[in-house]
Every structure is written in C-alpha cells, then in structure tokens.
C-alpha cells in the first residue's frame, strides 16, 4: 500500500487515526508496533499530504490542530469501515481474538459481567471484555469507537446510535435483615418516616420516590447518597437506612449479601435498561454475536 500517492495511502489514514487518539508519537508507535523514528517519518508524510501540522507541541504534550480535530471523526469512521471490508469473512468464534469494551453502571457489571464472560468464552475462548464506568450522558464514546456497547438507562437518542431495550426493571425497597421497618406492615407513613439512602452518580439526594411521596403530601428524610447501586447495598448492610434497587437486576446481589427486598407502598416508575451501539457495528459479525450474548444474559435475569 506504500505507493507514491501518499494522499491515497490507507496506512497513512490508520496512522493518523492512532496519532489523533494517542496524541503522542511514542504511544502511537507502540500501538502500531513501529519504531519512534518510523512513526515520526509517517507523521511527516501525513503533514505533507494534508498541508497541515496535525499535531503541535504544547509544553511536554502534543495537541491536535483545529483541522485535525475537524477531520478526526471522519478519519476514524473511514478506518473502521475499511477494516470491516477486510474482516467480513465468516465469523470463526473458535479463533476470534477480540476485546470488547462496555460502559455500564457498576451494578450491571457486578451482576452481568461474570455470566456474560462465561457465555462468550464458552463459544469464543479468545475474547476478553473491558468494563468502563458509566460516563456522562453523551454518545461520544460510542461515536468515537472507544466503547463497543453501552448498557444502562440510555439518555442519548442520536440518529447514529441504535438503542435496544433489554428489560424494564421495577424498583424495590432494600434494607438489612432485622431492620425495624420489617416488623409489621410497611405502610406509606412508616416508609416515609424512615431514613433513606439514594443512589446517584451526581450525588442527588432526591429521586422518583420523592416525587411519588409528594403526590401524597409526604416527605422523607434522605441522609446520604451513594454513587452506585453496589456501594449503596454495602452501606445498607450496616445501617438502618432504606435504599432502592432493581427487582430483577439487583436480585442476585441482594440475595448474596443477605439483604431484604420489599415492595414499595407507593407507585415508583420502573427503570428501562437498554443496550446501545454505533450503527457502524450493525453488520459486524462479531458485534452481532456480542449483542446476542448480552440479550441471552439479560433474558436469564
């Protein structure tokens, strides 16, 4: 592919994509298994082909030029498309060597990752999965190809992102075994009078339960928030706080920790869990298989 037409060289596009992701000649060289001098020569060819410096030194770091930032998403998509052209052979799971990256709330990871890994590696022993924490509500990670799949409550509805529902999970109250609330009927008044724990990535002390109580003219006292459901469940183990979890998703964790779940004495909306991916992976054989594995695991919940 190393023709004289540097502007038409696909290897240059691949190198440009990696350089813009890493913003470092050394790191890009390592990823492409090249020496640093060879990577520097490639960068020089890219600069000449584009008529732009692409990466410029700023202190000890390299930063992309405005032109480089403007074309990065397009370059990345071209590279992705080209690679699918060359890999669209029949999928051989026995020899598949690929790392899939997920972004999900840590309780999704805690409940589903082991089952998913077992399901996937049973068919494709060469695959591995990377779990990243839930990010901000934007599709940047999907669009830029940093993740293969997002699992959770998907706020994003971009046209280039596909969202497929996995399950609607009704909420349940959760307390430690022997909690005073469990002696006698859990009435609305007793529930509201208890001290509560919320789960919120942003530390919010209010949620859908407060809106539901307000409709009945009631308020509860929220004394703490936890950043994730798994940390919330651990806090509930050793306090008299009342928490909330998903009836289906968190049942394995609730059981394993010996906590007690109860039905809310009030209507609280269920949580719609879904998976989302970028359209570029729609027909990618390995990705189609990955989504089937995720579907199977969530159906098992």
198, β-bridge pairs: 225
Per the CB < 8 A criterion, the answer to whether 36 and 42 are in contact is no
Domain 93-169+272-299 in the same topology as domain 6-87: no
pLDDT score recorded for residue 4? 46
Between 72 and 220, the more confident residue is 220
CATH class of residue range 171-269: alpha beta
- 150, exposed or middle or buried, with CB in 10 Å at 0-12, 13-18, 19+? buried
Give the CATH fold of the 93-169+272-299 domain.
Answer: D-Maltodextrin-Binding Protein; domain 2 (3.40.190)
* Segments making up each domain of the chain, as ranges: 6-87, 93-169+272-299, 171-269
Say whether pTM exceeds 0.75. no
Express each pLDDT in 113-172 by its tens digit. 999 999 999 999 999 999 988 765 555 788 778 899 999 988 877 788 899 999 999 999
- Which residues contact residue 280 at a Cβ distance below 8 angstroms, ignoring those fewer than 6 apart? 77, 80, 81, 84, 145, 160
Give the CATH fold of the 6-87 domain.
Answer: Arc Repressor Mutant, subunit A (1.10.10)
Q: Lowest mean pLDDT: which of 54-58, 67-71, 141-145, 150-154?
A: 141-145
């Amino acid at each position: 592919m190393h023709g004289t037409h540097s502007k038409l060289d696909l290897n240059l596009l691949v190198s440009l994509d990696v350089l813009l992701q890493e913003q470092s000649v050394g790191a890009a060289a390592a990823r492409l298994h090249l020496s640093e001098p060879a990577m520097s020569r490639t960068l020089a060819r890219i600069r000449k082909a584009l008529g732009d410096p692409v990466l410029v030194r700023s202190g000890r770091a390299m930063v992309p030029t405005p032109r480089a930032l403007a074309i990065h998403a397009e370059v990345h998509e071209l590279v992705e498309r080209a690679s699918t052209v060359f890999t669209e052979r029949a999928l051989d799971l026995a020899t598949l060597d690929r790392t899939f990256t997920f972004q999900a709330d840590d309780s999704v990871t805690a409940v589903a990752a082991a089952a998913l890994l077992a399901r996937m590696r049973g068919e494709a022993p060469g695959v591995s999965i990377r779990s990243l924490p839930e990010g901000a509500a934007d599709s940047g990670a999907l669009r830029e190809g940093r993740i293969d799949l997002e699992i959770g409550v998907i706020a994003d509805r971009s046209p280039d992102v596909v969202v497929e529902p996995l399950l609607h999970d009704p909420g349940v109250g959760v307390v430690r075994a022997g909690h005073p609330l469990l002696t006698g009927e859990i009435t609305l008044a007793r529930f509201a009078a208890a001290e509560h724990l919320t789960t919120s990535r942003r530390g919010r002390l209010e949620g859908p339960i407060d809106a539901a109580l307000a409709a009945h003219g009631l308020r509860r006292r929220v004394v703490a928030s936890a950043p994730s459901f798994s940390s919330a469940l651990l806090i509930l183990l050793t306090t008299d706080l009342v928490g909330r979890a998903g009836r289906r998703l968190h049942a394995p964790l609730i059981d394993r920790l010996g906590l007690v779940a109860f039905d809310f004495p009030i209507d609280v909306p269920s949580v719609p869990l879904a998976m989302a991916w970028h359209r570029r992976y729609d027909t990618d054989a390995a990705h189609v298989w990955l989504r089937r594995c995720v579907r199977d695991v969530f159906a098992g919940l």
